[in-house]
Chains A and B, each alone.
Chain A
Amino acid sequence: MALPTKHDDRPLRHHRIGRLVVSAVVPIITGVVLWAGFLFLKQGAAPPAIIALAAIIWGVGGVALLFWVSDWLVNRLPLRAAKTLQPFVFVGPALLILTWYLVLPTLRSLYLSFFDAQSKNFVGLANYIYAFTDSRMRESFVNNLMWIILGTGGSVGMGLLIALLADRSRYEKIFKSIIFTPMAISFVGAGVIWRFVYAYKPAGEMQIGLLNAIVTLFGGEPQAWITLRPWNNVFLIAILVWLQSGYAMVIISAALKGVPSSIIEAGRIDGAGELRIIRSIIIPHISTTLVTVSTTIIIISLKIFDIVYTMTGGQYGTEVIASMQYKQMFTFYDFGKGSAIAIVLVIAVIPVMWYNLRQFSKQEGF
């Protein structure tokens, strides 16, 4: 759609120099104001709360100001140029930031992954050979696979189970909102919550961790769950299931409401039991939703970092790909290996990306 532009204020010839000056002065003033704000914030010579408030005003106001000034500038251009540039006032900032933060980094990481720790010497595929053969890396691949299978399976399975049950209960709303609550909690916070559940004291002492208290109540030996290989991975994955089941439940629940009651009733009249109805009518009906939810949680599991970082720091056989990448960056300062691991993560999401793009290209009207 061609956008009509207001043009009753086009520059007249004898005003041109004056207008040029104004066009230059306004951006300069804007720049100076923003820079002064930046310096003030950098010095930090004020109470933290004031600095915080100033930072917020500066950051948000600065972006709004930049939009207005660039729009103002474009509208002072000759009509044709203004019309061509106008859309880029709107999409330009986003495209610039995405290029800087996602597009270029992908290419740069790819480039860096062929160099050594200091990014000085070309090392060929050495970092990739490391990524696929090193014992810690192999451990993290196995663990990540476990995260993907158990984490996604657990969350989607639980979400589906709860959605199906809640759909048949009078107290649906209350049940669902309790299951949903952990969605608001950070992985770190959830890590503390569950560390406490898994807390361990030697046998004979009073257990303060819920899990060990239950185990000893039934006469079992208390265990240090977090260091108990290889099951500790499962105990970490349980945290993800606890966090993400609510998400799966909400999406699946909405899809369930879309299954026509008439088909279900027809199934009942034909004598199908409740389980048969779920298996043969409801599940096929919501299969697209199940795929969407699963891909989302697969990606979360693939990138899982916070839980491992907080709970074990990757020790006791719980390393995952993202925690190895973090270690290469900040413990060993090896940007080559760190970049190679990041590229491995990107390669792992390509199937999902391809699926999304295919779904998108099916959409009409773009």
Chain B
Amino acid sequence: MGRTTPKKWTVLVNAILIVLVVLWAVPIIGLFISSLRPKTDVLNSGWWTIFSSKGRITLENYRQVLGGSTYTFVDAAGKTVRSSGDNLSQAFINSLTVTIPSVIIPLLIASAAAFGFAWMVFPGRKFFFTSVVAMLVIPLQIALIPILRDYQKIGLTGSYLGIWLAHTGFGLPLGIYLLYNYISTIPRDIFESAFLDGARPMVVFARLVLPLSVPAIASLAIFQFLWVWNDLLVALVFLGGTKDVAVLTQRLATMVGSRGQDWHLLTAGAFVVMVIPLGVFFALQRYFVQGLMAGSVKG
């Protein structure tokens, strides 16, 4: 809620805010409306004219970007292969396949490490954790060439495993840092009674620490989810451009190149890319904001 503010200001304040909010929302509204208009309408008139005369609405654009044409061909080995044309539904599945493990794996590894840093004594503990803090802002560009060379040597380019590990590596510093801050505040006596009962650290970690850290893990998960789903650079470098593995952001960037003026398709494509993160975002905004507060140092 607002503070007590002199009356004369409140009208002006709300007026400026409304202007800004409209400025922020209009590009998204325009995109969404255009994605629902027939091709000829989109290309010949502004989307705002839908409110006046031409109110035609269609799902054809979505059908086209999601489905595309399916065709069969015989490959070099003589096998008949069914393949799809310009379709985003395959890319959608690819995005999910890349994103889900790229969120869960770093979370597992980061929470284990955070637990180790917070509750165990070992040589180099302070040095290692300080290094993690230093790595928070390292630009991932530094890793692209060396890791790409490694991947070419061991055959990980274009593989899901390769990109999961890359996202894990790039997401770990923030993950460890945030979860350490959280896990180190869990009261000590909760653990001690468990240890006295003879529980192994791994059991304590799985049965006590993970469940108690759910709020922190949730906000980190949303963070990492948005980061991975929306990433373009890491996918371009490690996944390569072949259609059967390319993720949504790659396909959309390609569409901008090849269909630069087909606005009815580009707008629908952009909306397909946005729909999941927007949904996650609105459903879990509270957690996301908490994560932002705790982690405003990431590079």
Seen from chain A, the residues whose Cβ lies within 8 Å of a Cβ on chain B are 1-6, 8, 38, 41-42, 44, 48-49, 51-52, 55-56, 59-60, 63-64, 67-68, 71, 75, 84, 86-91, 93-95, 97-98, 100-106, 108-109, 112, 158, 161-162, 165-172, 175, 177-189, 191-197, 199, 206-210, 213, 242, 245, 247, 250-251, 254, 261, 264-265, 274, 292-293, 295-296, 299-300, 302-303, 305-306, 309-310, 313, 322, 325-326, 329-330, 335, 338-339, 341-343, 345-346, 349, 352-353, 356-357, 360-361, 366
Report the 5 A-B pairs with minimum CB-CB distance, sorted nearest first: A101-B169, A90-B116, A186-B230, A94-B113, A184-B281
Secondary structure type dominating chain A contacts: helix
Most chain-A Cβ atoms within 10 A of its Cβ — which of B1, B119, B168, B296? B296
B17 and A299 contacting across the interface, CB-CB below 8 Å:
no
Sample (9) of A-B pairs whose CB atoms are under 8 Å apart = A1-B120, A59-B105, A88-B116, A98-B173, A169-B2, A180-B285, A196-B27, A299-B137, A330-B236
Q: What is the 8 Å Cβ interface bit string for chain B, positions 133-150, against chain A (1 contact, 0 not)? A: 111111111111111111
Question: Given the complex, which residues of A lie within 8 Å of B31, measured CB to CB?
Answer: 192-193, 196
Secondary structure type dominating chain B contacts: helix
Would you call B202 an interface residue if the criterion is a C-beta within 8 Å of the partner chain's C-beta atoms? yes
**Option from A56, A87, A175, A179 in Cβ contact (under 8 Å) with B120:** A87
Question: Given the complex, which residues of B lie within 8 Å of A296, measured CB to CB?
Answer: 296-299
Seen from chain B, the residues whose Cβ lies within 8 Å of a Cβ on chain A are 1-6, 9-10, 13-14, 16-17, 20-21, 24-28, 30-31, 34, 42-48, 90, 93-94, 96-97, 100-101, 104-105, 108-110, 112-113, 115-117, 119-122, 125-126, 128-150, 159-161, 164-166, 168-170, 172-173, 176, 188, 195-196, 198-202, 205, 226, 229-233, 236-237, 244, 249, 252-253, 256-257, 263, 266-267, 269-270, 273-274, 277-278, 280-281, 285, 288-289, 292-293, 296-299
A90 and B274 contacting across the interface, CB-CB below 8 Å:
no
CA–CA, A104 and B138, complex, Å? 12
> Knowing A169-B2, A185-B277, A309-B253 touch, does A302 contact B139 (C-beta < 8 A)?
yes
CA–CA, A177 and B285, complex, Å? 9
CA–CA, A306 and B227, complex, Å? 13
B232 and A56 contacting across the interface, CB-CB below 8 Å:
no
CA–CA, A325 and B180, complex, Å? 34
Question: Given the complex, which residues of A lie within 8 Å of B176, measured CB to CB?
Answer: 94
B277 and A184 contacting across the interface, CB-CB below 8 Å:
yes
CA–CA, A48 and B69, complex, Å? 17
**A328 CB, min distance to chain B CBs, angstroms:** 9
CA–CA, A306 and B253, complex, Å? 9
**A158 CB, min distance to chain B CBs, angstroms:** 8
